[in-house]
Amino acid sequence: MYDELENLYALCFPDKKQKWTANDFSDLKKSGCEIIASQNSFVVWRNIGDETEILSIGVVPAARRSGTASALLQIIEQDIKQLGVKTIFLEVDESNIPAIELYKKTGFFNVGRRPHYYDNGHDAIIMKKEI
Ligand SMILES: CC(C)(COP(=O)(O)OP(=O)(O)OC[C@H]1O[C@@H](n2cnc3c(N)ncnc32)[C@H](O)[C@@H]1OP(=O)(O)O)[C@@H](O)C(=O)NCCC(=O)NCCS
């Protein structure tokens, strides 16, 4: 399973210098993260008290713009509501327009910025959603 996630990650993030490996996914799972994956998409998140953090989400290029990522976010939301989670947050590269548009469309809003957070020098935008 973790090898498949490594492959999926590489397909979804071809330009990332430091790609998540099978070991990284395994460690995330061991540390309490939740993972959903299919043949063409994955999402990783963790629940911390009444908050959930989305750590990564990806859909392979051929399957994009078909509602897959939105559906994954909806599945997570339904799951965490039952746990009493009130807020979802995430960080996204300021230049990642598809992701920012996805998050805006699914109810996230900007709450902050981490300057030069990424290896490429870009800022991270912090986004939240109240559920
Ligand atoms: C961001 C990503 C996960 C979106 O996945 P997706 O399955 O294509 O998203 P959806 O089909 O659910 O799109 C929902 C909405 O997001 C917005 N959106 C998605 N891709 C977009 C794009 N390329 N440009 C503009 N808006 C976009 C649209 O509003 C879209 O609704 P619409 O298709 O009805 O217009 C996908 O592009 C991806 O895997 N990118 C590479 C990995 C990545 O950047 N992950 C996020 C890291 S924070």
**Quick one: 31 exposed, middle or buried, by C-beta within 10 A (0-12, 13-18, 19+)?**
exposed
DSSP E strand stretches across 1-131? 34-37, 41-48, 51-59, 87-93, 109-114, 124-130
pTM score: 0.97
Q: What is the CATH number of the domain that holds 49?
A: 3.40.630.30
The total number of structural domains in the chain stands at: 1
pLDDT, residue 119, reads 87
Residues 63, 68, 70, 73: what is their CA dihedral angle, to the nearest 10 degrees? -130
Rounded to the nearest angstrom, the distance between the alpha carbon of 22 and the centre of ligand 1 is 24
How many A from CA of 92 to the centre of ligand 1? 12
Residue-wise pLDDT tens for the chain (131 aa)?
899 999 999 999 999 989 999 999 999 999 999 999 999 999 999 999 999 999 999 999 999 999 999 999 999 999 999 999 999 999 999 999 999 999 999 999 999 999 999 988 999 999 999 99
Sorted by sequence, the CB contacts under 8 Å of residue 76 that are 6+ apart come out as 34, 36, 43, 45, 52, 54, 88
What residue numbers bound the domain in which 71 lies? 2-130
Which is the closest atom of ligand 1 to the Cα of 90? 48
CB distance 58 to ligand 1 below 6 Å: yes
> 96: Cβ below 6 Å to ligand 1?
yes
